[in-house]
Amino acid sequence: MPELKKSFRIGREILADLRGCDPRVIDDEQLLRRLVQEAIKKTKHNLLELNSRKFTPVGVTVLGILAESHISLHTYPEIGYVGVDIFTCGKNRPEPILEYLQEKFGAKEVNWQYLRRGSMRQWKQIYFVDGYKREIEVMRVLHTQQTPYQLLEVMRAKHLGVCLFSNGTLQMATADAHIYDQKMIQHMGNAKNALIVGGGDCSILKELVKNTKLQEIYMFEQDQQVINVAKKYLGAGPALRDKRLKMFYGDALETIPFLKDKKIDYAVIDLVSLPDSKLKPLYSSLFKELSSIKVPRWATQAGHVLDKKELTAISSAAKNYYKKTEVETQWYFSGGEWNFLYGEGIKK
């Protein structure tokens, strides 16, 4: 067989994670602009336009449009992190730009990947709203199944591990699901009995069973098939066998009233994304049922930070039944930055 020729590529791209950077440097918008300009000039690239934005309380984004393509920086001074993206299609390589910036930022650790752009790859879009798009590289499709309620897909993705999709929307990735889960249960306090509404990927359940203070865990999931998928592909078997778990299949609105004689201390609502027209009615009904069985505190995800409609709808529904709500945000690699809504204090 003849030797394969080097594949054609449109350009070269470096995606880099710089950690341990000097927070004073990477939070200084004007300094970052100057350093980017210097790096581009020293490496003989051609800068056409430079834009930047300083965020409150911390963080800067710098975007440079090059004749050869682009360079972008996204800084997180609170953790000493800078995300760098350099794409070039000219004769000059992108590596010298990265080397110059990592030195000036004082980076202690640099992890980067080099992409030869222009070849066909297997990608899947995981999020799109108001121009914000996330895509992942799929290494292998493990399972596809249409249930009476949803299309389930399980895929192994580069950097994200095993991922579960419902109707094309990413529900969880094993690489960083713990960040999302811990955000949902961080206000549990000394709860003895917990309730999960949804959460069919069983990721939150796996976190709850680690809590030795919990005496009983109730879980409502409409689609039994997603539980089977979680057991087979997502490592949910041990959690599902926990003796404290009481599993109910069906409509949560119909079954929550059966817990009226139980003392539920904390509820986690982990539902798939819904159309705007269904959001408020469903959550209003959920909060009504939770308040009727005297659940004092709860948590739910409330959509991507760029999607204000979901947060507004859920918050509005909650205020009819609970005295206090609080919003926090959390960034994680597979999903971006999401809103988390917490409520407490049942209204009389």
> Which domain CATH number covers 249?
3.40.50.150
- The confidence score (pLDDT) of residue 307 equals 79
| Domain identity same for 220 and 257 | yes
Q: How many domains does the chain have?
A: 3
- Residue range(s) defining the domain that contains residue 55: 11-117
Neighbours of 6 (CB within 10 A): 7
Question: 21 an active-site residue?
Answer: no
Residue 97, pLDDT > 80, answer yes
| Domain identity same for 293 and 233 | yes
| Domain identity same for 147 and 220 | no
For residue 3, being part of any structural domain is answered with no
Percentage of the chain modeled with pLDDT above 70? 92
**Looking at residues 312-320, what average pLDDT do you find?**
95
- The confidence score (pLDDT) of residue 31 equals 97
CA-based R_g, the chain, Å: 23
Percentage of the chain modeled with pLDDT above 90? 74
**What does pTM read for this prediction?**
0.66
| Domain identity same for 128 and 112 | no
Query: In whole angstroms, what is the distance from residue 38 CA to residue 99 CA?
Result: 12
| Domain identity same for 284 and 311 | yes
Range in 3-17, 21-35, 277-291 the model is least confident about: 3-17
Q: How confident is the model at residue 122 (pLDDT cuts 50, 70, 90)?
A: low
What single string gives the DSSP state of each residue in 228-259? HHHHHHSS-HHHHT-TTEEEEES-HHHHGGGG
For residue 1, being part of any structural domain is answered with no
Residue 71 structure tokens = 């360079």
| Domain identity same for 67 and 210 | no
pLDDT in tens, 260-270: 889 999 999 99
Q: How confident is the model at residue 1 (pLDDT cuts 50, 70, 90)?
A: very low
For residue 4, being part of any structural domain is answered with no
Q: Which residue among the candidates 70, 72, 89, 292 is catalytic per the annotation?
A: 89
Average pLDDT, the chain: 90
Torsion of CA 98, 103, 107, 108, to 10 degrees: 120
Residue 7, pLDDT > 50, answer no
Q: At CB < 8 A and 24+ separation, what contacts does 211-215 make? A: 214/244, 215/244
| Domain identity same for 110 and 185 | no
| Domain identity same for 136 and 65 | no
- The confidence score (pLDDT) of residue 275 equals 79
Domain end point (choices 71, 101, 117): 117
For residue 28, being part of any structural domain is answered with yes
For residue 5, being part of any structural domain is answered with no
For residue 6, being part of any structural domain is answered with no
Residue 304, pLDDT > 80, answer yes
For residue 217, being part of any structural domain is answered with yes
Question: 74 an active-site residue?
Answer: yes
Q: How confident is the model at residue 116 (pLDDT cuts 50, 70, 90)?
A: confident
More confident residue, 282 or 90: 282
What CATH number corresponds to the domain at position 160? 2.30.140.10
Domain end point (choices 70, 90, 117): 117
Q: Which residue among the candidates 74, 187, 273, 316 is catalytic per the annotation?
A: 74
| Domain identity same for 165 and 291 | no
pLDDT in tens, 127-163: 655 444 566 778 888 999 999 999 999 999 888 999 9
| Domain identity same for 86 and 203 | no
Domain end point (choices 93, 117, 141): 117
Torsion of CA 133, 137, 138, 144, to 10 degrees: 0
Query: In whole angstroms, what is the distance from residue 276 CA to residue 85 CA?
Result: 34
State which H helix or E strand residue 139 sits in: strand 132-146
Question: 89 an active-site residue?
Answer: yes
| Domain identity same for 202 and 81 | no
Residue 295, pLDDT > 70, answer yes
| Domain identity same for 299 and 317 | yes
Q: Which residue among the candidates 21, 45, 69, 166 is catalytic per the annotation?
A: 69
What CATH number corresponds to the domain at position 99? 3.60.90.10
For residue 75, being part of any structural domain is answered with yes
pLDDT in tens, 321-335: 999 999 999 999 888
